[in-house]
Amino acid sequence: MNIDEQLALLKKGTVDCIPEDELRRKLERSEATGKPLRVKAGFDPTAPDIHLGHTVLIRKMRHFQQLGHTVIFLIGDFTGMIGDPSGRSATRPALTREQIDENAETYKQQIFKLLDRERTEIRFNNEWFSRFGADDFIKLAAKATVAQILEREDFKKRFQSQTPISIHELMYPLGQGYDSVALEADVELGGTDQKFNLLMARQVQQAYGVKEPQLIMTTPLLEGLDGVQKMSKSLGNYIGITESPSDMFGKAMSISDELMWRYYELLTDLAPGEIGALTEAVSRGARHPRDLKAELARRIVADFHSQAEAEEASTEFDRRFRDHQTPADVPTIEKPAGAIRLVKLIASAGLAPSVSEAQRLVAQGGVRVNGNRVNDVKLELGSESGTEALIQVGSRKFLRVIFR
């Protein structure tokens, strides 16, 4: 790629690039000298399961990697003991060393679904902070003022509402900044919620004598399946990268046509022009949104599993939903004959988290037995030996019960 093409790829799906003109200069100098840029992204080991929202940033790391630059996946095992206060209205609970090590190992196992293992540096910031003495921390604390730290929106809100802010939290942006000094970072990537920390890192680098501090690039927070709130495991609107191909495909197919374009932009390597051609094809009726959504779902599954598994998930989805057939791999259990309430069976089989939730699903028409929608929360099954029941909860959960 020439420099303009590289810029288009790297800036695709980003929000901030600060300073705007510096990326071109860094790329041109790297090309002229043959020295790759050092591109850093930091992750606190607080949530070990990565979902597609996290991969927006990891994919941008891959774009730099594909252009020959060095990407550094920094695990904040030291700063993780502080806990990133970004977006927090209260102090994070401290993690134990064991929790940090366990979560970090899980991250390492997951990121190489997108990144090239041989061309990725994995670093831990305990590597340098473990050597810090009291005087080193005092010197670091002197690199910014309290007024500057309190400019950060979440700190400002907590201060104004008289919500406690612990002293160690104020050190977090400075600690993240020193990471960039230790790693000699040319570029740092982060979500838009990290903008303050990334800018602080530039200041810390300058204070430690770095002549050309890092460029910062931010990526947006990906909307979840509901298209409203950011993707979050706690909100249940996420696609986890370790989920089965069929679950990933089905969830991707559930998004709106409008959200589909956002996912194409942030979750694929297609160039902006290629995405534009697809939207134009839909607008003139040459392509159907449903087919493009299926294509997107296959791309997502292939990234984290394989192309063959993506095609299989697509075929199975059509079989179940377009052709209205029962899945080929319905799990089967046996139960002793004798009347059992449907809602209790659904809960005990794990098709719903509780009996009360099973009752809600039945009452709202979200449950079928042998293909027929049921609404009676008191319905009983299994009174006769040798009978079978095919239970469907929602659109993707199936269970065959044989009563003996």
Query: Going by DSSP bridges, is the β-strand pair 367-369/388-393 parallel, antiparallel, or unpaired?
Result: antiparallel
SS3 9: helix
Report pLDDT for 318: 85
pLDDT tens digits along 242-290: 999 999 998 999 899 999 999 999 999 998 889 999 999 999 989 999 9
Task: Tell me how long the chain is.
Answer: 404
Is pLDDT of 321 > 90? no
Residue 303, C-beta contacts closer than 8 angstroms, at least 6 positions apart? 113, 114
Q: Is the pLDDT of residue 89 over 50?
A: no
Average pLDDT over residues 25-32: 96
241 pLDDT band, cuts 50/70/90, is very high
Lowest mean pLDDT among 174-178, 211-215, 361-365: 361-365
Radius of gyration of the chain (CA): 25
DSSP, collapsed to helix, strand or coil, labels residue 244 as coil
Q: Which residues on neighbouring strands pair with residue 74, listed in sequence order?
A: 42, 123
Token pair belonging to 23: 């990326």
pLDDT tens, position by position, 195-231: 999 999 999 999 999 989 999 999 999 999 989 899 9
Q: Greater confidence, 68 or 103? A: 68
Distance CA 385, CA 403 (A): 5
Residue 400: phi, psi to the nearest 5?
-105, 125
Instruction: Walk me through the domains of the chain, giving residue ranges and CATH numbers.
Output: 3-219 (3.40.50.620), 245-322 (1.10.240.10), 332-403 (3.10.290.10)
C-alpha dist (Å) from residue 373 to 112, 319, 320, 399: 43, 19, 16, 15
Cβ–Cβ < 8 Å for 225, 213: no
Would you state the structure tokens that stand for residue 121, as one six-digit string?
């540096």
